[in-house]
Amino acid sequence: MHAAIKLGSAKQAVAQAQDTDFNLNMLTRKLPPKFQIISPHSGTRVTTGIVPIKLKIAANTVAIEKFMVNVNGREVTPHRIRKMHPKMQQHTKTIEIPLETGNNRITIRAKNSIGTTSAELKLQYAGASQIRQGNLHLVSIGISKYSNLNKDKQLKFAAKDAEAIHNLLQTKGKKLYSGIKAKLLSDNSNTQPTRRNIEQALKQLSKAQKNDTSIIFLSEHGMNIGKDYYLIPRDAKRRGSEMDKKTLVSWQKIQNALVNGLGRKILLIDTCHAGNAFNPRLLKDSADQNIIVLSATDADNVSLEIERLQHGVFTYSLLKGLKGKADIFDEDHGKIMFKELDAYVSNYVAQLTGNRQKTISQAGSGGFKDFTFMQL
């Protein structure tokens, strides 16, 4: 209508619109994937621990690039469909999915260049779990001293926080995980927390398998640039009065490090030591990728360090919880469930700071089944 008024002719306006690369018909033809689960039906009791799930995939106008499969919040996508050949025509596909003992909430997502579509079903299985506890992949990053930041921007305990979490999870994790593959980057470690070293360490997480758990612990400065969030590595540089974006670690690289692997994925974030450092997009983006997040604070507060604790408040609370304080139920034989840990840390951080700091947690878009985070 605006073009018709400007040109003084509806016919000319239509002709002009037809000459452009964009038109409404093209928009309606390009859609996210269309597919549905044919079998088994949701609510079915199955007798095999690895169940074939049959999908009916519609004729799509934009080729499906990959499928992603989650069982109770743990990604179990078979490698052969993680990098599939794009296909547009109607067809069926069968995916074999391992189940846990009891209730299984299965989410299947299909992705193309336009967007992502998901379908869900629930199955019950009484046999032995086919998703066993595998390896722990752990990357801990802590930075207190920054080469190119002012004295008032230095942190006191961030490096010590990462070192303590790294040591505790390795020691306690031996009772729960088949093996532990851990990498520490801190001011005092052999591997310095530079941008290059951080990005290199994150690559190890792509090796995680469906039974594994991947954890990234971050204790350092973060910042927003426009709509995007960045971690500030130890060797970050300035360009004039601003930080040079090329010397920072983008949040996308952190998230992709977890997305590229399989299994359960957890982020423990303590990067909000300055005002306006928290970015709410982190939670949404992580939820969309079924990453479980426990953050030291939200957008309205900052993450505090307290001298008498010799730690940041968030890490101090995590350490106390993982050493046994979060184990509320005596009858579970020393198992610290993730939801127990979340509740303990949330309450203790608020208590230690007089409610000045409040943690925030985020599960996958459909939530997750509680799981053992640590065995005492």
| Ranges of each domain in the chain | 1-27, 31-125, 136-375
State the helix-helix crossing angle for 313-320 and 158-173, rounded to 10 degrees: 20
Q: Which residues pair with 102 in a beta bridge?
A: 125
pLDDT for 182: 97
Identity at 306, one-letter amino acid code: I
pLDDT for 369: 82
Distance CA 99, CA 101 (A): 7
Confirm or reject CATH 2.60.40.10 for domain 31-125, answering yes or no: yes
pLDDT for 350: 95
pLDDT for 181: 97
Distance CA 103, CA 95 (A): 19
Cα–Cα distance list, 298 to 198, 293, 302 (Å): 24, 12, 8
Considering all CA atoms of the chain, what is the largest pairwise distance in Å, rounded to the nearest integer?
80
Q: Residue 295: name the closest of 282, 311, 306 by CA.
A: 282
pLDDT for 199: 97
pLDDT in tens, the chain (376 residues): 333 334 344 455 445 545 444 455 555 578 899 999 999 999 999 999 999 999 999 998 898 888 899 999 899 987 677 666 777 789 898 999 999 999 999 999 998 899 999 999 999 999 999 988 899 999 999 999 999 999 999 999 999 999 999 999 999 999 899 999 999 999 999 999 999 999 999 999 999 999 999 999 999 999 888 888 999 999 999 988 889 999 999 999 999 999 999 999 999 999 887 766 777 777 778 877 889 999 998 777 889 999 999 999 999 999 999 999 999 876 666 889 999 999 999 999 999 999 999 999 988 666 778 899 988 8
Task: Identify the CATH assignment for 136-375 out of 3.40.50.1460, 3.60.15.10, 3.60.150.10, 3.30.365.10.
Answer: 3.40.50.1460
Q: What's the length of the chain?
A: 376
Question: Rounded to the nearest 5 degrees, what angle is found at the Cα of 71, between the Cα atoms of 69 and 72?
Answer: 140
Q: Residue 35: name the closest of 58, 5, 13, 67 by CA.
A: 58
Percent of the chain with pLDDT over 90: 62
Token couple for 41? 């039906």
Beta strands in 195-258 (DSSP E): 213-219, 222-225, 228-231, 238-239, 242-243, 249-250
Cα–chain-centroid distance for residue 280? 13
Q: Residue 74: name the closest of 307, 325, 354, 372 by CA.
A: 372
Distance CA 100, CA 125 (A): 7
DSSP element (H, E) containing 348? helix 338-352
Answer for the pair 260, 205: CB distance below 8 angstroms, yes or no: yes
Answer for the pair 218, 231: CB distance below 8 angstroms, yes or no: yes
pLDDT for 225: 87
Cα–chain-centroid distance for residue 330? 31
